[in-house]
């Protein structure tokens, strides 16, 4: 028995790769994002996966209301994939970063993610131990690797990493697994604008695997975590980056 998974940003990119992996494992899927219901990517994802879509803005909407809607439609959520995130509004000099761009990253990547996870955790505590209960935070190698041209994103992901550790420590005694995944350079819409420049650097050895990551790479790691196959590794930080974050001379 696998249960119900709520995936923020699950209709595209890394979130869609995760949704496909969990669908293959038999999870009922709730996908949430701020995109309208008639968005072509939303419609395609729900049709492909038999998923239910819930429009939700992490910056403004009530996380308790989202959890209520999902529970009423699909039953209790035993797996939360905190995946939705936003990049810097514009890459550029750290000294030119704007408050608006800083606040946007933190409102979505930190504040919104925290309070949705808080609501999910409160409800998971009251659920039976079967099926396995878990919260997975999708952060980034930028939680520890510096990119001075998008400092607000790096700061928000470093904070999200600590958030994952805090939830792991708080929930381990309740048998709820909390894990952090750190994707590297993944081929999605978010990286489309820098695709050519990154391709050249990847081929030159920036990524030891010498290829772009794809959303399915993240999904392949998420599936056993959500199924409980790594439950005693609670709090683990897992790089999914083809070796990008390995310290090398």
Strand order of the β-sheet with 134-138 is: 52-55, 28-33, 4-8, 77-82, 134-138, 177-183, 237-240
3-state SS, residue 78: strand
pTM for this entry:
0.96
Could you tell me if residue 26 is left (phi over 0), alpha (psi between -120 and 50 degrees) or otherwise beta? left
Average pLDDT over residues 13-26: 98
C-alpha–C-alpha distance, residues 30 and 49, integer Å:
10
Report pLDDT digits (tens) over 53-98.
999 999 999 999 999 999 999 999 999 999 999 999 999 999 999 9
Report pLDDT digits (tens) over 135-191.
999 999 999 999 999 999 999 999 999 999 999 999 999 999 999 999 999 998 778
The neighbouring-strand residues paired with 81 are 7, 136
| Structure tokens, 160 | 């999200």
Domains by residue range for the chain, with CATH: 4-239 (3.40.50.720)
């Amino acid at each position: 028995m696998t249960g119900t998974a709520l995936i923020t940003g699950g209709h595209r990119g890394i979130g869609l790769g995760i949704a496909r992996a969990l669908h293959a494992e038999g999870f009922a899927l709730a996908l949430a994002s701020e995109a309208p219901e008639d968005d072509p990517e939303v419609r395609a994802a729900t049709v492909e996966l038999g998923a239910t879509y819930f429009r939700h803005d992490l910056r403004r909407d009530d996380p308790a209301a989202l959890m209520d809607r999902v529970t009423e439609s699909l039953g209790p959520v035993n797996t939360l994939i905190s995946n939705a995130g936003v990049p810097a509004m514009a890459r550029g000099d750290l000294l030119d970063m704007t408050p608006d761009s800083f606040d946007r990253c933190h409102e979505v990547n930190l504040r919104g993610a925290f309070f949705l996870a808080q609501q999910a955790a409160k409800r998971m505590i009251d659920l039976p131990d079967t099926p396995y209960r878990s919260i997975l935070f999708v952060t980034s190698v930028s939680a520890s690797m510096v990119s001075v041209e998008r400092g607000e994103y790096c700061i928000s992901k470093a904070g999200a990493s600590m958030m994952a550790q805090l939830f792991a420590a708080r929930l381990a005694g309740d048998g709820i697994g909390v894990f952090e995944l750190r994707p590297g350079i993944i081929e999605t819409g978010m990286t489309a604008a820098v695709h050519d420049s990154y391709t050249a650097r990847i081929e030159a050895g920036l990524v030891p695997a010498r290829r772009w990551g794809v959303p399915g790479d993240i999904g392949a790691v998420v599936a056993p975590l959500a199924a409980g196959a790594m439950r005693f590794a609670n709090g683990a930080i897992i790089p999914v980056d083809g070796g990008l974050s390995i310290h090398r001379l």
